[in-house]
Chain A
Amino acid sequence: MTRQGGGSGEYVLSTLEAMVAWGRKYSIYPFTFATACCGIEVMGAFGTHYDLARFGAEVVRFSPRQADMLLVAGTINYRMAPVLKRIHEQMLEPKWVVAMGACAASGGFYNNYSVLQGIDKIMPVDVYIPGCPPNPEGIIDAVVAIQKIIETGAPRAAERWPIKI
């Protein structure tokens, strides 16, 4: 978008795509899927001290059908995996996924028979947040990263998924 003119005759030149992206960027509706201690940090991020509302992502939706961003915060085991997958499928396009913390990103230190070794085994992940648990700044950083993806039109993880190794 470029600003033109001056005084009372100011106007903006843009494309429709850029306008829509600008609107999306500042109105990300998150859906938090908190299963472990990461969920506490999510509460901190949405609370008054860190205040995720400053980035336009404060309207937490408790229905996946109304959400844009799935924030997976915590350990996902094999019994929970189908539930999480179903929730991801219920979200409308365009949608973004954040894997928060070591467990959601890689299984963390739960290298055992019951824990899914990273949610990217079952769904595309756009942003990973490292940490165990990450601090609220990490969540803000992930939201800003997703804003960058929206703004620049960078390909979403869904377009390069499943990952081929």
Chain B
Amino acid sequence: MTDERKSVALAKLAAAFGDDVVSTHGDFGDDTALVRRERIVEICTFLRDDPDLRFDLAMDLTGVDYLGETPRFEVVYHLYSLEKRHRVRIKVRLPEEDLSIDSVVPVWAGMNWYEREAFDMYGIVFRGHPDLRRILMYDEFEGHPLRKDYPKAKRQPTIGPAE
């Protein structure tokens, strides 16, 4: 909490959630908060509904695989406020052995396909997602191709015409 350029969003977030906000920074104008996964839905609801913040547009959700680090995976939320015209980035680290987090589809319906993509590419399970299926790869595909330990040259059987 030393960066003075930190925005109102990060200040309010840290004040409201205390220890559940692990760290924040405003480097290069990119306001970022690393939070604990247990209260992610509460945090997102707060960011959406607070009258000073109003993060009403869920721009992106993606996974990251930091192979070799502990915890290994990360989920990143990019949020934007159409009314206040400001942005914030929320990061959550997830351990490999319990790769799950609560879905934020109840907060932003637009996160539905992003969460399916993160599930498809990284195997991150979003608890409470209404329809957690693969979205880019076909159902018979085995594994999660954007994980860093997925073999680059691995080929899977070609599927026939769908009946």
Chain A residues with CB under 8 Å of chain B are: 78-79, 81-83, 85-86, 89, 111-114, 116-117, 121-122
Contacts and interface: CB of A to CB of B under 8 A. Distances in A.
B1 interface: no
Q: Is the interface of A mostly helix, strand, loop or mixed?
A: loop
Given A78-B138, A79-B138, A113 B145 contact: yes
- What is the interface residue range for chain B against chain A? 10 to 19
29 contacts: A78-B137, A78-B138, A78-B141, A78-B156, A78-B158, A78-B159, A79-B136, A79-B137, A79-B138, A81-B159, A82-B159, A82-B160, A82-B161, A82-B162, A85-B160, A85-B161, A111-B152, A112-B145, A112-B152, A113-B137, A113-B145, A113-B152, A113-B154, A113-B156, A114-B136, A114-B137, A114-B145, A116-B158, A122-B158
B158 A86 contact: no
Contacts of A121: 158
Nearest to B144: A113
A86 B161 contact: yes
Nearest to B159: A82
B134 to A, nearest CB: 10
Nearest to A88: B161
B109 interface: no
B15 interface: no
Interface string B92-110: 0000000000000000000
A37 to B, nearest CB: 21
